Structure 1
Amino acid sequence: MYTFIKFGGSVITDKTGREAADLVVIERLAHAVAEARAADPNLALVLGHGSGSFGHHYAARYGVHRGIPLSADHTGFALTAAAALRLNRIVVDTLLAAQVPAVSFQPSASLQSTNGQIITWETAPIAEALQRRLVPVIHGDVAFDTAQGTAIISTEALLSFLALRSPLQPRRIILVGEAAVYTADPHRDPTAQPIPLINQENIAQVLVMTGGSRAADVTGGMRSKIELMWHLIERLPELEVTLIGPDPALLTAALLGQSLAMGTVIKRW
């Protein structure tokens, strides 16, 4: 059984800056993963991360997510891809330093999309890495798109594809970003309250309450993430999705299936 993790771009970088990696947070999260693997040697993990202030800046500037025609200048596409890879190298190197055998897999090297949706992706090498007790690391990336020329594929979309269209069906997905899903934007509304559980009884209400991202983000905000995760749960009824903040103790506990003091669990029932 597999566990997918996502390090949100907003927690491993300062998304209001430019290529501003939060090395302290990345290191703490890497050690939390290492601690969980040491406690449970059977953990099979796929780790993804957002691009934060690395890829999103260039994608928004050049409109990569809206599509670049074949005949147009694709410099922005190349700059976005390079920025995403720079952050990926930081994440992977930090995991390796924490004794996590991380291996980078660049999605755009083997992926194609249509209208921003993944059509094909060669995922067999990721499965091979898992068989060898390695930790594959993927990231939000650019893509060549058959309809609009170019696209941006979010980390959540990559994890969703792996969950539904590869043998790597997860039992758990852990999203490390905001401390929880809230009744309103907690950065703007001091009365916002965390929602500990989202299920079929309150999902419609939650989607009404959740909004977009505060900084440049070409993959959508909290609402789009919840919608995508709920779509996964509808297809995989046993799946549980946990949203937590960048607290290493919470990440280790979530990876080990322990109860959490803070966060939001999304599940069918």
Structure 2
Amino acid sequence: MAGTSEAVNQAARLSEIGFPEFTTKLITDVFDSLVATNLRQTEAYIELLQQTGKTLTTFINDTKDDIGGELLLQFLAHALPPRDDKKEEDGTHVKEGNSLTNEEASTLNNALEVKDAGISSDNKVASAGALNETKVNAILEAVANRISADKYSLLKEMVKQGILRLVVEDGEIETRLTFNTYGSSFYQNKTSDYQRKNFAFRAKAKTGGLLSAWVKASASTSYNSVKVSTANKTDQDRSGSRVQIFGRVHVNFKTDYLPLDQ
């Protein structure tokens, strides 16, 4: 059958799939990924040590400009939220046109304080009175200093505890090829018969015995039968193939702490 022959031809093309190349690339990519991940972790450790090796003053000067407006607003909203009559309008009371009481200025300065960083007045820049653009900008600068100092303290603490890292213990790489092919042929021949029958009667009256026999009329009958045959013929041929390439990587890893504060 043509369908089966086509299916066999498809199966014979197995070498064109490139399954060995597929498996090779899977193994290579997994290896490259593991090496790259380990390098990335090492780079993060080195960067962390470099940052924490700086003095607090240097760290603040190097990082304060990276503090975004969202962080500044979050800090001020927590340190000095808006007064009751402005809660639905403002995120913080530190806004041009507002004014600070002595108590509010003291509260804000306590939140802004940064010691041992060589910053004038230990970063306490808030004062009672009206808030203009200059005063607001000074407060925002002080907030950036405070957030940077907090980051520095956090990084120092991380170094003391050690850095969490991922270590691969063992792994499994599996590749699988599923190749299915099929073929089929279908033949159908259907014949239908039907008949049409027709019976006719023809008669003429006799003309009498005086006439000669050859001119005498007589009754006669006739019978016709018609047979009709019809044939329907259907040929179907189906063939196909299906290829499934399956790859799976299973990696077991553990975590441990790499001591950095040595």
> What is the TM-score of this pair, normalised by structure 1?
0.17
The structure that is strand-richer by fraction is 2
Higher relative contact order by CA 8 Å / sep ≥ 6: 1 or 2? 2
> What is the TM-score of this pair, normalised by structure 2?
0.18
